[in-house]
Structure 1
Amino acid sequence: MIRHIIKLIWNKKGNNSLLIVEIFLSFLVLFAVLSYVIYNTDRLEVPTGFDTENRWLVFLDRNDKDMDSTANAQMRINLKNDLQSLENVEDVAFSNPIAPYSYNTWSSSYDDLGFEMRSRFLYADINFEKTMNINVTDGRWFDETDKTATYEPIIVNQFFIDQYFPDKSMIDSIIPFGGDKKIIGIIDDYRYNGVFEELQETCFFYQPYTSENSEIIYLKVAENTPKSFEEEVSKMVESITKSSSFVIQDLKAMERRNNRQTWVPMIALLSISGFLCINVALGLFGVLWYNINNRRSEIGLRRALGASRVGIASQFTGEVLILTLLAVLVGVFFAVQVPLLKLIDIPPNIFYRSMFYSALIILTIVVICALYPSAQASKIQPATALHED
Structure 2
Amino acid sequence: MFRHLLKLTWKRKSRNLMLSLEILLAFAIVFAVAAFGLRYLQLYRMPLGFEGADVWSVAIQPGDNGKQRFDDAVYDSFRRGLAELPEVGGVAFTNIEPYSMSTMSGDMRRKAGSREVPTELAEADDKLAAVLGLNLVEGRWFSQLDNGSAQRPVVINRRMAEAMFPGERALGQLFIEGEGAAPAQAYRVVGVVDAYRAKGELAGPVNFAFMRLEAGKNDNDARIMLLKVRAGTARDFERRLNARLKLIRNDWSFQIAPLSSSRASMIRTQTVPLIVIGIIAGFMLLMVAFGLFGALWQNTTQRIPEIGLRRAIGAGAADIYRQIVAEQFMLSSIAIVFGLALLVQLPLTGAFGESLNWPVFLGAALLSMAVIYLLSLLCAVYPGWRASRLSPTEALHYE
Deviations, residues 338-383 of structure 1 (Å, cap 9, x unaligned) = 3444444344524454344323321221123324542453344435
CA RMSD, Structure 1 to Structure 2 (Å): 2.9
Gaps of 5+ in 2: 178-184
Q: Which residue of 2 aligns with 1:122?
A: 122
Partner of 1:284: 292
Shift of 1:19: 2.1
Of 133-142 and 242-251, the range deviating more from structure 2? 242-251
Task: Provide the TM-score with structure 1 as the length reference.
Answer: 0.87
Structure 2 Cα separation of the partners of residues 55 and 153 of structure 1? 25
| Equivalent of residue 191 in structure 2, options 177, 185, 190 | 185
SS at match of 1:324: helix
> What is the Cα deviation at residue 200 of structure 1?
1.6
Alpha-carbon distance, 1:160 to partner? 1.0
Hey, what does 2:36 align to over in structure 1? 36
Deviation of 1:217 (Å)? 0.6
Q: Which residue of 2 aligns with 1:319?
A: 327
2:238 partner amino acid: E
Q: Shift of the alpha carbon at 1:290?
A: 3.5
Paired residues for 1:269-308 under 5 Å: 269-308=277-316
CA separation of 1:209 and 1:238: change in aligned 2, threshold 3 A? farther
Whether the aligned pair in 1 keeps the contact of 2:155 and 2:191 (CA below 8 Å) is yes
The answer to whether the 8 A contact 2:120-2:209 is kept is: yes
Q: Number of paired residues? A: 385
Alignment partner of 1:246: what SS? strand
**Structure 2 equivalent of residue 358 of structure 1:** 368
In the TM superposition, 1:1-389 aligns within 5 A as 1-62=1-62, 63=64, 65=66, 72-95=71-94, 97-113=95-111, 114-118=113-117, 119-149=119-149, 152-171=152-171, 173-178=172-177, 181-208=187-214, 213-346=221-354, 347-349=356-358, 350-351=360-361, 353-383=363-393, 385-386=395-396
Change (3 A) 1:213 1:386: same
Q: Give the 3-state SS of the residue equivalent to 2:120 in structure 1.
A: strand
Change (3 A) 1:68 1:129: closer
Distance 2:254 2:352 in 1: 41
- AA in 1 matched with 2:206: Q
Secondary structure at 1:130's aligned position in 2? helix
1:303-354 deviation digits (Å, cap 9, x = unpaired):
2312233322221112212222333333334333434444443445244543
Counterpart of 1:147, as a letter, is N
- How far has the Cα of 1:64 moved from its partner? 7.7
What secondary structure does 1:77 align onto? helix
Deviates further, 328-337 or 236-245:
328-337
**Percent identity over paired residues:** 29
For each residue in 1:198-250, what CA deviation from the matched residue of structure 2 results, as whole angstroms up to 9, or x when unmatched? Answer: 22211112225798823111012222322221111112112212224321122
CA distance in 2, matches of 1:127, 1:148: 18
The residue type equivalent to 1:75 in the other structure is V
d(CA) in 1 for partners of 2:293, 2:54: 53
- Secondary structure, aligned partner of 1:194: coil
> Is the 2:152–2:186 contact (alpha carbons within 8 Å) kept by the matching residues of 1?
yes
Cα distance in 2 between the residues matched to 1:351 and 1:214: 41
| Structure 1 gap segments, 5+ residues each | none
SS in 2 for 1:57: strand
> Which sits farther off after the overlay, 324-333 or 119-128?
324-333
